Structure 1
């Protein structure tokens, strides 16, 4: 298996995804957009993982010179046409929705920290999520949420956001939440992107000290188990 990552910012990298790739002996490549790297022209990978960032699908090139939403949507559509597996996280989930014609929306509440999600009946019936309990505590860092199509399945929601995990197709999944956070990666995100004055006091914003101290291993294992199942499903196609 060859896994390719689209990385928008230095402080929002693959984190636990990389551990899964290494543990399985898979090939890993990345596009670091913040360094000016170009998106891949040749789709020689099996799974594309599009990570998060402070941008939104409405962000223009004059606002962020290295973020080109049309190019990312084009890459996503080429991957779908080739039958590749796709996982989008946060911004990545919104971009997958946009590529399929599902416009992103603002989440009812901003969520930053570790809070529970609730799995839907569709998730509990899916072999890819068989290791998930009805509720699981996972990471969050968002203002927006992915759009939905009539064929989309919402697999998880939270009190603050009705779209935490979305199935767009057999091999296409969007995670508004962050199961990939580790103590190392969340510390980098806090240092780079936590706007203390703007965020303190909001109901669904956790104190950064508490975030940095949270043990992420349980939710990381859930991510690994989902990815293992996704790989098996991909190989069976």
Structure 2
């Protein structure tokens, strides 16, 4: 298994995705958008594309952020999907998957930062990739927006503050608004770079203080991610026998 990560910012890294990949001795490569632009021909060299999060949104222009080329990322995502590869998007990455499929992202009803309980929908309970998912576990969050959906993209999980936490865009293509990859060091980077303060978490129902975030137990969310990825990889190999 060869995995390509698209990373938009140094403070929003692969986190537990990389731990999971190294434990299984998978080959990994990070495309750092500060240094290079993701290209469609990447699909010739990798089995899986993981598009990570970032403070941008899918409509952020090059004039607004010179290292974020949304059009190039959409083309790269389209190439991986067309070739039957695994594609996972996280937060911004999930929104970019939707946009690559012609489905516009939207603003989330609530801002979420920290960790919140996430629950499987009826369709999520039936999805074999989520068979080992710990329903109701607190999963990492750090977003204002959410991925788009249409009648062909079932919502598999939701939280009280955001109705789209996990979306299936195809048998091997999933969007995760939640950040199951976060570990304590990842949270600390987010706090240092993006901040969270008293006025912030008092204003928003689902935004936690820096002190609360530092005490989040990441074990359940990381375990959920590992089970999800293992089943997704299994499906990929099953379809490519």
Same fold (TM over 0.5): yes
Contact 1:94 1:174 in 2 (8 A): yes
TM-score (norm 1): 0.97
Q: Which SS does the other structure have where 1:30 is aligned?
A: strand
| TM superposition outliers: structure 1 runs of 4+ over 4 Å | none
Alignment of 1:73-222 (within 5 A): 73-196=74-197, 199-201=200-202, 202-222=204-224
Alpha-carbon distance in 2 for matches of 1:140, 1:113: 5
TM-score (norm 2): 0.95
Alpha-carbon distance in 1 for matches of 2:122, 2:134: 11
Q: Which SS does the other structure have where 1:200 is aligned?
A: helix
Alpha-carbon distance in 1 for matches of 2:195, 2:152: 35
Deviation at 1:45, TM superposition (A): 0.3
Q: Deviations over 1:110-165 (max 9, x none)?
A: 00011101111111112211112331210100000000021101000111111010
Identify which range, 25-34 or 209-218, moves more after superposition.
209-218
Q: Deviations over 1:190-237 (max 9, x none)?
A: 100125376231111001111112120121011001000000100111
Deviation at 1:78, TM superposition (A): 0.7
Q: Deviations over 1:84-110 (max 9, x none)?
A: 100000000000000011100000110
Contact 2:197 2:209 in 1 (8 A): no
Alpha-carbon distance in 2 for matches of 1:134, 1:56: 28
Contact 1:101 1:149 in 2 (8 A): no
Q: Cα 1:200–1:218, aligned 2, differ >3 Å: closer, same or farther?
A: closer
Alpha-carbon distance in 2 for matches of 1:42, 1:219: 29
1:39 maps to 38
Q: Which SS does the other structure have where 1:234 is aligned?
A: helix
Alpha-carbon distance in 2 for matches of 1:195, 1:39: 31
- Structure 2: which 5+ runs fail to align? none
Alpha-carbon distance in 1 for matches of 2:197, 2:18: 29
2:70 maps to 69
The answer to whether the aligner puts 1:230 opposite 2:232 as a matched pair is yes
- Structure 1: which 5+ runs fail to align? none
1:28 maps to 28
Contact 1:112 1:206 in 2 (8 A): yes
Alpha-carbon distance in 2 for matches of 1:133, 1:193: 29
Q: Cα 1:198–1:88, aligned 2, differ >3 Å: closer, same or farther?
A: farther
